[in-house]
Chains A and B, each alone.
Chain A
């Protein structure tokens, strides 16, 4: 697979992975705040 095709793939995969990780961080922070602060 050439670099151009692979870079387009990584664009899609990379952004999806970053959003997935951030969603987990978000859920984690919300849960921490709920437990520790009683939100």
Chain B
């Protein structure tokens, strides 16, 4: 009898709070459709990890094993990069290469948030891991946080995935505050541009070489993403491309989420740092959006053919959410203004730039 009650006796207030947090994440995933692929496993992992004397943790615990093998070794995020690379179609970016610059500008949030975090007393490595939430790219956030601040991985992952899901709520007010109605109505060239297959094949190879030579530490990030993309674009590995996009992505995502959730133990998760990280994560997305829009406005001062500055906001990695939100905003201002192709181009640029930002952070923060 005594043994049967050990779980109840071991239950702490912190455990109960973590059950509520896990339940809330599951609610967001199911009822609100907020990144369900990640938030649901994370939420359930948090519940599993907070049951007193749980057998999923500890020396022979299955979630501890997944965490050690998949997260601590950085294997899961790396495999996710292969899958994501196989899913990305770079054509909209190659059709309008100038949209690459919006991807760069929108990484401002990463660095601005890092500065902010350092003012709050976080060490440089912790601040960099918090800043990378602004990459709006789950696997990059997980990869950098694992390398630099493993103890902050859980709140950083939850913040990154939650805010990616909240892009339709976060971005519009920031874009509206920084643009005039006339700017939001600006039209852009909508002609179709042909991109030969050879360019789509050479692009991932070229990007890997350039990024790898400039920042060798980024090769694991950029290289695996581009490997996935090369499989897709080669045209001769359709089975592998589909396997990367479906089986690999699904399996790794499943284990990634629950392994991260298992690190959300009350003792390490329930503290003021988690709240600070959630707050700064939100600011990172706001800084990203602002950085992109202001960069586009600055470009308009010198360009002959003006750009709709809202495009700048799409330079984050949350794909295709950000492009969809901005294209919708343009249609709301003028129902005949279609900027979706430019928005998608900038959004794809954000996917590349976020990984470059991850690589740059890894190279500069030593």
Contact = CB atoms under 8 A, between A and B. Distances in A.
A25 B210 contact: yes
A15 B199 contact: no
A26 B103 CA distance: 12
Give the interface size bracket for B toward A.
35 or more
Contact of B364 (A3, A13, A32): A13
Give the interface size bracket for A toward B.
20 to 34
A22 B194 contact: no
Interface string A15-33: 1011111101110111011
Interface string B81-96: 0000000000000100
B123 A3 contact: yes
B118 A4 contact: yes
A25 B100 contact: yes
Nearest to A2: B118
Nearest to B206: A28
B98 A3 contact: no
Contacts of A7: 111, 114-115, 117-118, 124, 127
B118 A22 contact: no
Given A18-B357, A22-B353, A25-B352, A11 B97 contact: no
Contacts of B100: 22, 25-26, 29
Contacts of A10: 111, 114, 128, 361, 364-365
Contact of B360 (A17, A28, A32): A17
B107 A25 contact: no
B98, B101, B104, B214 — most chain A CB neighbours (10 Å) = B104
A8 B356 CA distance: 19
Nearest to B197: A36
B115 A11 contact: yes
A25 to B, nearest CB: 6
A22 B106 CA distance: 12
Interface in B111-149: 111-112, 114-115, 117-119, 122-124, 127-128
Contacts of A14: 107, 110-111, 357, 360-361, 364
B294 to A, nearest CB: 13
Interface of B: 94, 97-98, 100-101, 103-104, 107-108, 110-112, 114-115, 117-119, 122-124, 127-128, 194-196, 198-199, 202-203, 206-207, 210-211, 214-215, 349, 352-353, 356-357, 360-361, 363-365
Given A25-B352, A32-B198, 12 more contacts: A10-B111, A11-B115, A14-B360, A15-B111, A17-B214, A18-B104, A18-B107, A18-B356, A26-B100, A28-B210, A37-B194, A37-B195
Interface of A: 3-4, 6-8, 10-11, 13-15, 17-22, 24-26, 28-30, 32-33, 36-37
13 contacts: A7-B117, A10-B111, A10-B361, A10-B364, A11-B114, A13-B364, A19-B104, A20-B214, A21-B356, A25-B207, A33-B97, A36-B196, A37-B196
